[in-house]
Amino acid sequence: MSGTVDHDLAVTQQGHYAGAATRLLAYALDQTVATGTYTAGVAVVSWLVSLLMPPDVKIAPFVGLAGFFYLVWLALYFGYPWATSGKSLGMAVLGLRVVAEDGSPLAPKRAFIRVLTFPLGFLTLGIGFLGILFNRERQAVYDKIAHSAVVYDWDARSARWRFLARQTTSTVAAADVATPAP
């Protein structure tokens, strides 16, 4: 029964602004995946470079370049999914979607602006995130600038069909019990 209650709650929450805990968890998952894939990529590239370069060549001067590429990777990791589907991997797992303020899909230009302004939440020492807690639309500073919002996005149509099928099945079963056999 709790699965039904959770499912019905999810359907009623669709389209509502996402809360801080869910957004933070999605971000933590995304950051873990993005950093893990980048680290694996750097390990492969470092190994290939070590095979091709003489052992006396040091690659320490390229550390700053690796940091730059990490920032580019993060921009691609977050920006491309936001521009195409409105959700990154962590957001998809937790049922979140980035949309325009009016609820329409986020335009690629707005997704790009959101990616570029996302660090403002951190650069303001967390003040940029306070809107998620205290704003009715739960918009952080970068959401305000990009005219975006994060909403819950469970598949309401298929959920509604499953709910109706459950109701029909229980109604039929109740009618079979109430009708005496001849």
- Give the CA distances from residue 43 to residues 40, 49, 65, 113, in Å, rounded to whole numbers and listed in that order: 5, 10, 15, 31
Cβ-contact 9, 163 below 8 angstroms: no
Residue 28 banded pLDDT, cuts 50, 70, 90: very high
Q: What is the pLDDT of residues 33-59, one digit of tens each?
A: 999 999 999 889 888 888 887 777 776
DSSP sequence for the chain: -HHHHHHHHHHHHTTSBPPHHHHHHHHHHHHHHHHHHHHHHHHHHHHHHHHHS-TT---GGGHHHHHHHHHHHHHHHHHHHHHHTS--HHHHHHTEEEEETTSSBPPHHHHHHHHHHTTHHHHTTTGGGHHHHHSTT---HHHHHHTEEEEE---HHHHHHHHHHHHHHHHHHHHHHHSPP-
The predicted structure's pLDDT at residue 52: 84
Q: What is the pLDDT of residues 92-110, one digit of tens each?
A: 999 999 999 988 899 999 9
Residue 16 banded pLDDT, cuts 50, 70, 90: confident
The predicted structure's pLDDT at residue 48: 87
Q: What is the pLDDT of residues 161-173, one digit of tens each?
A: 556 666 666 555 5
Q: Does 81 have pLDDT greater than 70?
A: yes
pTM, whole model, 2 decimals? 0.73
Domain boundaries, the chain: 2-174
The predicted structure's pLDDT at residue 5: 46
Q: What is the pLDDT of residues 125-156, one digit of tens each?
A: 999 999 999 989 999 999 999 999 999 987 65
The predicted structure's pLDDT at residue 59: 66
Q: Does 75 have pLDDT greater than 50?
A: yes
